[in-house]
Chains A and B, each alone.
Chain A
């Protein structure tokens, strides 16, 4: 028997569940297929982001930061609590509770919006048919007018460092260490490696990060990347760039890592090793022969700028398609696709996708970097404001970092905003809004910011674009 739906979504991560809810809001009969089984053995919604990604990592980042604050910073404020005691089990349980609340919350949202949730796997057959296979092994054919593929991504494994239970782990395993490893190795100096490295570093691990590329945070603005690296080094993260991991060997309960850099080949032994070298699109068992959906050589499902695949009526969104692997990018694509199915003209502005690294301080940016603009031969002005000159940042003891704004030299339109500093991830939203509305640096400069706030640094950076910053000495004198 074939069930009929208007919209079938495969995957309930931040792309898929948002697409499903929006489709249901627009009046479509919607089904969402998700295969995830939570730690409690029950089906769980929310995908990587909620179960083993964004949310649990943020829970641990916050907890570990509290510990570090108690251990080091509180005394500065005249608050003595003695040496804080750490209970990793409680920390992990709190994280699991948050994950449980949120994933359960999506189930609730599905109910109130009338989205049918099917626990199991979905497979796209020829002629836009979807085969659903429940965890009980029973399969059923679904007929949907529109199919949205949102199957996300999985961590990449590398040959020199195969995963070994509880010793060499990926980003998921790194959320489950039951004690603090003395020595922790992290392969990959990207967002995930930095965040997970930070968590365990704060809790007392001696952390070494191996980055194969020459530049630290190669995709970020390099002025911000260099500043960030300095800050992280001060926190105790040992970051090795231009360093390639050649192999790993289990030595008792430890793992020995062989790596190569300009200093030659060396080895180091770690209690735990995290492999965080990136993620790849997940399409295992998704596409039946002849279903018509095409993939590029790296496995991404090929779509046009509005997420349509080669098959009319079949869409793909989020990590499984081109573009940044970011939850919010997937969510926006989900909304766009649902609205386009309803005949609306929604679009995603890929020029204003914000990126955030949730270290402390956070690193966040939107738009183009100075390096990109230089390469493209664009003339630009730069305004920089350090948090060291912000009253609010000083009061909260968060003076590391800066805001950097880049604007077109001719039109003054904001081309990029790059921040390392307190609440950078939230502050960058102001820049995203400004850019979405085509603002010039002067527009931000003319906008009133509340005092004292850390956001004032963005205001000052905008002023600095024209050499008008009030609270620092301007490099360029200008009327």
Chain B
């Protein structure tokens, strides 16, 4: 089996697993005053310090959540209150669903946010919260966040950055980006599923919670934090994310697919080293995913609903693609991808493309 769907979830990194196993035997609840509680609290606060340092923030400004979706929802809830919300056209559903009435900022055909449009939209709006993703989950497109941040500041707007796909795959620093908040997910960077964080700018760190509960996380997120999961999260995030070794493998996979008739999407803008989005004209994306899975290669397409059905991609539609928006798959290499995986992908893709496209003409009617 060849797992090439890292943007859905990364395989657990061994050091994250080790950190979790060690933390799983700690008995205490980090809110308890006794010795056991303090032991649990220490593990959690160590993790908070490591993660805050990793993303250019301070420990008091990092709120643990259940994952990226909750971090995004908390940011929109807390920072969007009383503000007009603007979101990029290619944002993840975590943001789209949290801000259903938001103004949509268009993207250029390259997938990059239209900064001129953003400036005009901000000039016409009142106090605003802008939500942009650092790297796109379907195409890997990296947004010019620092430039967007300058536009936001010029108009007095707040900027929330969804860094869920970027963290662990490229340098991510709050200060460098100029963001007011940052959403991070553990399992997208090789940690366990079940933890995430919202990192806040110093002057915005006292926010209203979505879940009040017992006042944990300084009243910003109620509920007992999953200590072992958080320990694994921090351990996984400690892996350096500079210069990705995956780009060469990704390029090899992409070349093989292009040779079989694929059109790569989003190649005219900077993108994550592990991601390629490949359209096969005339062949439905769901059929491609099934055929590849039956050949032992796991990739994905578009936005899979909880039913598992694959719909057309709003990301590709926003980039001006029409039919191809329903005919593209996403290949995203995990941190442990090998040449054997790429070879298996190339072979399976070629066979799939031959069989599916051979069927196109007789079934055209």
**Are A and B co-members of a single complex?**
no
